[in-house]
Structure 1
Amino acid sequence: MNNKEILNNLSKEELIKLIEIYSKNWLAHDGVWFQSIERKSGMEEAMFHDREAWRRFTEIEAKRIKEFLKLPEHAGLKGLAKALELRFYGNLNDYELVFKEDRLIFRNVDCRVQTARKRKNMPYHPCKTVGIVEYSGFAKAIDERISCRCLSCFPDITDEAACCSWEFLLNTDKA
């Protein structure tokens, strides 16, 4: 028997639970390697590697989700919203997607990374620079006309009701 045969025999509920387990495992791995570099070489070095990893991973993730959803080349903000909902950690963090006029706002209301660091009495992860790479890269892979701007993210929190907030705009001049 191989893994595909095992998965084919699972119920929908079991598959959803397994996706949650896989997501938690992925996030734990992301945190473990980061904290290893942080302990050995400090936050600045860990942040460099985190940005570089996200620069590559976010594009891979976005392209696979885009293909899965069969989104067109210019998927726009609606396509981006669909893709953001299927990100690996989308079922781990509580988030909101809000369309306001010609923009999309994505807010992580609760973040497992920051919650875990707080629980371990660690300083918050200064994720803004990584988030800029991550969310900008993800959006561009869905539709190269989309730009991203950070509204609020540690250490620059301007929205106390969310762990981070991101604004996406569609530049139709690039069509």
Structure 2
Amino acid sequence: MYNKYLAELSKEELLELIELYAKNWLAHDGVWFQSIERKFGMAEAMYHDEEAWKRFTVIEAKRIKEFLQLPENPGLEGLEQALHYRFYGNLNEHECIREGNRLVYRNRDCRVQTARSRKGMPYHPCKSVGIYEYSGFAATIDARIKCRCLSCFPDCTESPDGCVWEFYLEEE
């Protein structure tokens, strides 16, 4: 089932709409988080953010894996392909770099951190959420893949406007 109006749009219009949908999704994610943050504080907001990402990242990865028709264990190649199709892939400047038996995902400019900075808000301490998000996404694509954070707020070794994650196949 699909929206019949989408079939009438050009490829360019569909691409523009995908970006709009991604921005709307991220805006919704941000406004519910900030609502909890204002009323109950950052710790409570982080708890709920972590709980939501534990579930959402698996749903997102399963749907992308099915869409791309990836095999059961597609390895780092499959993960790299899937990472480009995440909602964030439409919003944040990112790159994937293969270095031997590892894949480094670098998010160069995070819309969340940029928006919080622009509004005079402190950076989102997203490392704990990112651990669930990226580890869960990778493990859903291929259960053998493990994830390690290389840089993410508040533990930045690079710019606080982005983050860096390393994926590798666990040796059997």
| Structure-2-length-normalised TM-score | 0.97
Matched, 1:8 2:7: yes
Task: Name the Cα RMSD after superposition.
Answer: 1.3
Stretches of structure 1 that go unaligned for 5 or more consecutive residues are none
Count, aligned residues: 172
Runs of at least 4 residues off by over 3 Å: none
- State the match for 2:125 in structure 1: 126
Matches of 2:69 and 2:121, distance apart in 1? 41
Aligned ranges for residues 101-116 of structure 1 at < 5 Å?
101-116=100-115
Distance across 2 between alignment mates of 1:35 and 1:161? 19
Displacement after TM superposition at 1:170 (Å):
0.6
How far, CA to CA, are the matches of 1:73 and 1:111 in structure 2?
30
The code of the aligned residue for 2:48 comes to: H
CA distance in 2, matches of 1:8, 1:118: 39
- CA gap of 1:155–1:25, structure 2 versus 1, over 3 A, is same
TM-score in terms of structure 1 length:
0.96
Question: Is this contact kept in 2: 1:107–1:162, CA < 8 A?
Answer: no
Q: Given that residues 113 and 161 in structure 2 are in contact (C-alpha distance below 8 angstroms), is that contact kept between their aligned partners in structure 1? A: no
Percent of matched pairs sharing the same residue? 68
Find the counterpart in structure 1 of residue 158 from structure 2: 159
AA at the equivalent of 2:10 = S
Q: Indicate the SS of the match to 1:105.
A: strand
User: Any conservation in 2 of the 1:109–1:161 contact (CA below 8 Å)?
Assistant: no
Gaps of 5+ in 2: none
Alpha carbons 1:98, 1:106 under 8 Å: kept: yes
